[in-house]
Amino acid sequence: MSVTAAEGFVAEGLHAGIKRRRYDMALLATADGMPVRAAAVFTQNKFVAPPVVASRNRLQKNGGQAVAVIVNSGNANAGTGAAGMADAEAMCAATAEALGCDARDVLVCSTGIIGTPLPIEKILEATPKLAKKLSPKGARHAAMGILTTDSIPKEACVKGSKFTLGGMAKGCGMLAPNMATMLAFLTTDADIDQADMQRLLKDAVDRSFNTLNVDGATSTNDTVILLASGKRGKPDLAEFADALHRVCEELTLLMARDAEGMTKLVRLRVTGAKSDAEARQAAKTIAENNLVKCSWHGGDPYWGRLLAAAGSSGADMDTDLATVSYGGICVSRAGAPLEHDSEAVAEHMDGEEIDIEVALGAGSGEAQVIGVDLGPGYIKENSRTS
């Protein structure tokens, strides 16, 4: 019961016919149909989808509150113009009618194929059915309803001393810092001010979802929403912030491990940068480099590719002080190979998770990126649009 583990929330998912067989719709709502505090972080892509516009506008106008979030998968309702905006509004209106609430308190998300009109009639027909089936036990069905090319539902839950925080997410391709082709929905029964919710959510997203880089692509629909019922009183903010980060981090790792075609998960740390910003810049460049990603797929500790990518990132680097380590074993110093235990490195590279540190020797800035390898599975998945 991840997304309904917190008191005051119900959910459900179903197959509406957008996709051939799999669940393709989900609804998350308050159990009593009343608005609760809401915070959200949206895509930074300027080619933004109508559902993002609709949800963002609602939160700006109502001061940050919501009764429900209606979601469809299989179609992003992006690149659909005025008709797409009308469809997003129609989804909110149908949900409001089914729940007996104000449409201005319904948020909407879509994910899937870009540039194809939404099959709105199927969605509107399914919405009342979703509303009738809502229950605390519907979390898994809801988590299934938001998936696209994902192979598994992604759920997480943390129980604090005075609150519960749960969530569900989707995403396994077109993933990059500034979120991903991802949706995430989080709920808590903590009583927390909306301003604090927004601040802590942004920080948690920056430290989790924004560290994931599968292919460098930023989607049109990325959305993370946090709802708070307030049923269990005021939390310790530091404890809540830690729990929020833990839930987001767990969902991030689930997305990374389910990335399209991946066989290796890579924790890449860039240290010794002039600033944290330059460390992030270098880490992003390395994680998106196809030559680097191919070497990860082959289990090849090709440190020269890492330094070459870092050197092209625009971040300052002192080559004489730069080092590269795999699994804590330093293999290069000052831009040259270093004698090391090659068998231990090979064994580390053979594993499902690879730890890499690239030290730039230019300062104290650092950053981490979660990356994956590039192999035939990714190409197979993305050589077609549906």
What are the catalytic residues? 181
**Sign of the dihedral through C-alpha 110, 113, 115, 118:** negative
Dig out the tokens for 107 from the structure: 């948020």
Question: CB of 332 within 8 A of CB of 303?
Answer: yes
Give the number of other Cβ atoms within 10 Å of residue 366's Cβ. 19
Tell me the DSSP string of 237-261. HHHHHHHHHHHHHHHHHHHHHT-TT
The answer to whether 24 and 72 have CB atoms below 8 angstroms apart is: yes
Give one DSSP letter per residue of 51-109, joined into a string: HHHHHHHHHHHHTSEESEEEEEEEE---S-HHHHHHHHHHHHHHHHHHHTS-GGGEEEE
Q: Is 29 helix (H, G, I), strand (E, B) or coil?
A: strand
**Contact status, residue 67 vs residue 227, Cβ threshold 8 Å:** no
Only one residue has tokens 């998350």, namely: 28
- Could you tell me which residues are beta bridge partners of residue 11? 28, 135
247/204 Cα distance (integer angstroms):
9
